[in-house]
Chains A and B, each alone.
Chain A
Amino acid sequence: MKIAIASGKGGTGKTTLATNLASYLAETGPVILVDLDVEEPNSGLFIHGRELAAETRYSLVPEWDADRCSFCGLCQTICNFNAIVDLGDRIMLFPELCHSCHACSELCPDEALPMKSRRIGRLRYIQAERLDFVESRLDIGQEQAVPLINQTLDFVGGRFRNGTLQLLDSPPGTACPAIAATRTADHVILVTEPTPFGLHDLKLAVATMQALDQPFSVVINRGGQTDNMIADYCKQQAIPVLAGFANDRRVAELYSRGRLIYDQLPEFKQQLAKIATFVTSQEGIKA
């Protein structure tokens, strides 16, 4: 069972929810928390434990073999990502633009572009007191998060086969990284806040989930007494709202120090329990 925790807008509380929910659920059953926000992974700041594995991750990109090349120029024509320029006396490669499609390498008549590994980031597997935690971080300067996100999902899929509950802390937005992180989930929880930005970006996230044909629900964070804009929208669209966390400066302060919230604030725990109940009921459906 895979539950992705996502949001259109950044900074709405994905990591707060993911880390608290993972710890809370781990009190009653096995949980794996996976941080797929590889550009800015933060869950690891809240989860501490023993590192069981640390692996450098790579993507495959072509490398130019000058001795074999006859400068036919085919590679430059083939590459749809402008990652190859034939300068006549040498071939210039832009590995950060390469999508690892292998076309240039395999179609080169001179076999002058063998594929070689190139480092993109690092994955860590940590055993915390109650739960397992996997995170990947993209190397600074790497442009493409998606290959690392997919490799992280593969790592988790390979290591934990027994249907353990996975919580995926996903990247913000609605572009490729967010899609890669949420599309394989069984259910997506969209975290939002009752502000015009929150509502605007929620609508984009909802449309994205509908396009992916993914089941989803909403959690309202930093709610107030009077701001019903998210609740009204969800009601109108028949989108289930799992819980609502009040706007509370104490939450922001606990978060700022890297602390979990639910063991400190009973009203937070009460809302968290509603989400936990939903997640476990989904597991029942799945099983």
Chain B
Amino acid sequence: MQEIVIISGKGGTGKTSLVAAFAQLSKTELVVADCDVDAADLYLLMHPDFRLEQAFLSGEKAQLDQNGCDQCGLCQAACRFEAIELRAEQYTINALDCEGCGYCARVCPTGAISMVEQKAGDWYRSTTRFGGAMVHARLGIAAENSGKLVSLVKNEARKLAQRKGLETILVDGSPGIGCPVISSLSGADLAILVTEPTISGFHDLKRVRRLVEKFHIRIGCIINKFDLNPEITDQIQDWLDRESISLVARLPYSDVFTEAMTRGQTAIEYSNGTLSQSIRNSWDAILQLNNER
């Protein structure tokens, strides 16, 4: 089994649109995992059937029973997150501030605080219109622990691939370098970094590359909108050379991604032009890079 993760550092570089197109291009059935859980847009292009829905339990939060509280204030003193306040002569716990460490419940002498498991979203197992399977999720509103949800989505994708005897998991990662990205990368075999020739795009590419480095996996790069700033595209390519990162493809600045998305289609479905051809070549190059391992 192999895991190919598409990430970007910077948001809005075209990562999700590419994942959908790759999923469609794959000649073998694969499992697609949408690990960009707090902006889970991939379903808008894949149209999965939401066949199985399950709750995502994110961890615990403290709950205080006023009847049992003798107002000693030990909980407030213990809490490092300023989640416990004395309001109108009652201690109250602000759920948004509570990190779920359970310290308050441990020190409460009357047992008035209990730790309650939280539902922080849903996750789904689906079949897609391209024949493959998909694992995806929806993080609850103002919910936390997106890293844990990413791990869950990936684990379920692995289980599904194993059960169905599928060889490849294609992962749509999230922007940034924090816990959801780290969870997306853990256990991956190949990371494709999607960037754009802007000083922000290049800056973020270098940072996410330093993160990926820690996982000792093969890396490839796609420069999207390469003709937006040819000078920075050259700088990125020079840098890729020096860092021994394969340039998988350069894709032109194009409205096709947006137009296709507006119709709920992938770019290759929507258009047969040069962009689509470049995307096809990208996928072939990614598979080749993956086989070189």
Interface residues of A (CB under 8 A from B): 8-12, 15, 37, 39-40, 42, 45, 78, 80-81, 99-103, 106-107, 138, 140-145, 171-179, 183, 195-197, 200-201, 204, 207-208, 211-212, 227, 249, 252-253, 255-258
Contact = CB atoms under 8 A, between A and B. Distances in A.
B203 A249 contact: no
B179 interface: yes
Nearest to B214: A141
Given A9-B39, A45-B199, A196-B41, 12 more contacts: A10-B175, A40-B10, A40-B208, A80-B59, A80-B60, A172-B176, A175-B144, A196-B261, A200-B39, A207-B141, A256-B197, A258-B199
Nearest to B44: A196
Contacts of B211: 140-141
Interface string B239-273: 00000000000000100001001101000000000
5 contacts: A140-B211, A211-B141, A212-B142, A253-B228, A257-B229
A107 B106 CA distance: 9
A9 B12 contact: yes
B126 interface: no
A210 B80 CA distance: 26
Interface of B: 9-13, 16, 37-39, 41, 44, 59-60, 78, 80-81, 96, 99-103, 106-107, 115, 139, 141-147, 174-182, 196-201, 203-204, 207-208, 210-211, 214, 225, 228-229, 232, 253, 258, 261-262, 264
B175 A40 contact: yes
A162 to B, nearest CB: 25
Nearest to B42: A197
Contacts of B145: 176
A201 B229 contact: no
B44 A197 contact: yes
A22 to B, nearest CB: 16
Given A40-B204, A100-B80, A174-B39, A140 B174 contact: no
A107 to B, nearest CB: 7
A174 B139 contact: yes
A101 B97 CA distance: 12
A230 B268 CA distance: 26
Nearest to B200: A42
A102 B103 contact: yes
Contact of A208 (B141, B174, B199): B141
A144 B179 contact: yes
Contact of A15 (B115, B178, B200, B207): B200
Given A40-B176, A143-B182, A174-B38, A99 B101 contact: yes
Contacts of A145: 176, 178
A175 B38 contact: yes
B80 A140 contact: no
A150 to B, nearest CB: 10
A207 B115 CA distance: 26
A100 B175 CA distance: 25
Given A39-B176, A138-B177, A99 B16 contact: no
B178 A177 contact: yes
A103 B102 contact: yes
Contacts of A143: 147, 178-179, 182
A200 B44 CA distance: 9
A171 B181 CA distance: 14
B206 to A, nearest CB: 10
A276 B56 CA distance: 41
| 8 interchain residue pairs of minimum CB distance | A11-B12, A10-B11, A101-B101, A39-B176, A256-B198, A103-B103, A11-B11, A256-B229
A253 B229 contact: yes
Nearest to A206: B141
A107 B144 CA distance: 26
Given A80-B101, A138-B177, A208 B11 contact: no
A80 B100 contact: yes
